[in-house]
Amino acid sequence: MIEYAESKEKKSFYFSRDTLLDSKKCFFFRISQSTKSTFWYQSVFIDQRTFLPVSIIQNSTGGSIMIGDKKVSLNQFTRIKYSKVKETIPKFDYLMSDKSLPKDVEITDHRIVVDQIKKGDPAPSWKHPDVLTDKLISLDSLKGKIVVLDFTSTWCFHCVEGSLVIKELYKKYNNHKDVVFINVFSCSTDTREKVQRYIKMRDIDGLTVYYATSSEKPYGILGYPNFCVIDRQGTIAFFQRGYSTNLQELLSREIDQCLGK
């Protein structure tokens, strides 16, 4: 990620080679800028196979901007399908090649992390505070249970979609005491107060832990959301980076297999 200051604005550019969006492998670009009162970023997902934009997502808070002759509030998420983009968008072809990437851009290659944690591996242990009680919850204390982890955040667009899936699964398996759903907030900006407001606003079910930054490296968390199923023996049964439209089906199938159905 590159960060630089321009007058009173702070701007940054981030590039990732492997990001999953709607089951498509994409190149991911994010440009953001912030001031004391506003924050704005635009994320662009490029299909690795066709090199065409899959989606453009804008997230912003505070103030407003002019789009053409219209004033638009920045307190919203906006996801724009490429087919609906009418105005000329920036050229992305010069970003497609490693050799022509802007100088000093740090490339985070998710494929390296994929090799670090996979199905059948022992699940890395952790101990994080519960957001409601502040008491520590550990993976070791849940041994013998099927644990579903949703590595999420309060500011991520696809995390909201992922949380809705987890909510439906929580209802489905609510009668199974051996299935535990845990929302894991590992981003350093997600304070206890922010997470408490978020889970109340989104009516999120299951246990919620925060201040879980120490789990990011062992689980290979480089972005959000991430989903993990740990079986009764404490091994990784399922791990997925990014939200996909078939996420509920995938997680449900893995949970059923762990239950012996």
Task: Give the model confidence (pLDDT) of 169-205 as tens digits.
Answer: 999 999 999 999 999 998 878 899 999 999 998 899 8
**Predicted confidence band at 104 (pLDDT cuts at 50, 70, 90)?**
very low
Does an H or E element contain 111, and which? helix 110-114
108 DSSP assignment:
B
Q: Which residues lie across from 10 on neighbouring strands?
A: 5, 34
Q: Which CATH class, in words, describes the domain spanning 111-259?
A: alpha beta
Task: Give the three-state DSSP class for 103.
Answer: coil
| CB count in 10 Å sphere of residue 41 | 17
Higher-pLDDT residue of 170 and 3 is 170
Q: Which residues lie across from 209 on neighbouring strands?
A: 130, 184
202 DSSP assignment:
H
Could you tell me which of 116, 109, 113 has the C-alpha nearest to residue 48? 109
Beta strands in 24-171 (DSSP E): 24-34, 39-47, 53-61, 64-67, 70-73, 76-81, 127-129, 136-138, 146-152
Query: For the chain, what are the domain ranges?
Result: 2-108, 111-259
Tens-place pLDDT, residues 19-73: 777 677 888 888 887 776 666 677 788 888 888 777 766 655 655 545 456 554 5
Task: Give the three-state DSSP class for 55.
Answer: strand
120 is written with which tokens? 């059948």
Task: Give the three-state DSSP class for 219.
Answer: helix
The average pLDDT across 4-8 equals 49
Tokens 């997470």 belong to 195
